[in-house]
Amino acid sequence: MAEPDADGNVINVTRAESHVAIVRFARPPSNYFSIPLLSALAGALEQVDADPDIHAIVLAAEGRNFCAGAELTQAHEKPEQIYAAAYRLFAIRKPIVAAVQGAAIGGGLGLTLIADFRVVAPSTRMAVNFVKIGIHPGFAITLLLPRVVGQQKAAELLYTGRRINGEEALRIGLADRLVEEGDLFDTALTLARQIAENAPLAVEATRATLRDGLLDDIRRQTDIEARKQNELSITDDFAEGILAVQERRAGNWKRR
């Protein structure tokens, strides 16, 4: 892996045969995302996206968890700034396959949704747990999750904040491959190679058609999400939600 940057983020880009780039990121110990991490990751993906010799991308993370979400202590990071960085990730033109190990929670699950396909293990844990900390969902999850799993299942996951494993993720369509953890990366790479062996202009054009209008929708949706998050971030319930998560207990909500 490359050396950490000033913010402790590590981004490593390598090339596999068959026109596939591998982008790995790390922010030890749990890969909590931050604006510097998202910006660095976007920069790496943009470089790969501009390379005509690369036809598909594998997105992977070092460590036990893919991304455990936002670090709750980083309250100074405003939603608008986070989603400006995230928008660059959604704007990548080439197909992305994510290898998702361990936790992909909250915005960490949102990060998996920049990918076209997700490869998971039985031990993968996924949740959109925003309501458990008294905050509105973000990272365009309110738009993208229904597109992937359907409106009804997305509503259930968003309203309950419950955690699902790899088997359920596959069953509801949130994951595309279920393999043992030791096979996660190789399976993601195989899928990326299967994509990359096709005519790249045709693949990118097909992807663009499938996603027609999506970037505009993401911008509008994250504007709404950011506004709702800012409104809720000053409530007693949000403060209680953070404390409840840290103390591993249910929240004592006050509706204010």
Answer whether residue 236 is part of any domain. Answer: no
Q: Which two tokens stand for residue 221?
A: 């949706």
Spatial distance between the Cα atoms of 66 and 158, rounded to a whole number of angstroms? 20
Please give the pLDDT value at position 94: 98
- Name residues of the chain where pLDDT drops below 50: none
Answer whether residue 200 is part of any domain. Answer: no
Whole-model pTM?
0.94
Answer whether residue 46 is part of any domain. Answer: yes
From 64, 83, 61, 55, select the one nearest 206 (Cα to Cα): 55
Spatial distance between the Cα atoms of 10 and 192, rounded to a whole number of angstroms? 22
Please give the pLDDT value at position 73: 63
CATH number at residue 69: 3.90.226.10
Answer whether residue 169 is part of any domain. Answer: yes
Please give the pLDDT value at position 4: 66
Residues counted in the chain: 256
Please give the pLDDT value at position 128: 97
Spatial distance between the Cα atoms of 208 and 224, rounded to a whole number of angstroms? 24
Spatial distance between the Cα atoms of 14 and 2, rounded to a whole number of angstroms? 11
User: For the residues of 181-226, what is the DSSP string, one character each?
Assistant: GGGHHHHHHHHHHHHHTS-HHHHHHHHHHHTTTHHHHHHHHHHHHH
Please give the pLDDT value at position 17: 81
Instruction: Work out the angle at residue 83's Cα, subtended by the Cα atoms of residues 165 and 174, and round it to the nearest 5 degrees.
Output: 20
Answer whether residue 221 is part of any domain. Answer: no
Answer whether residue 247 is part of any domain. Answer: no
89: Cβ–Cβ under 8 A, 6 or more apart, which residues? 38, 41, 42, 45, 111, 114
Answer whether residue 2 is part of any domain. Answer: no
Domain of residue 156 covers: 10-180+206-210
Spatial distance between the Cα atoms of 213 and 200, rounded to a whole number of angstroms? 21
Structural domains of the chain, count: 1
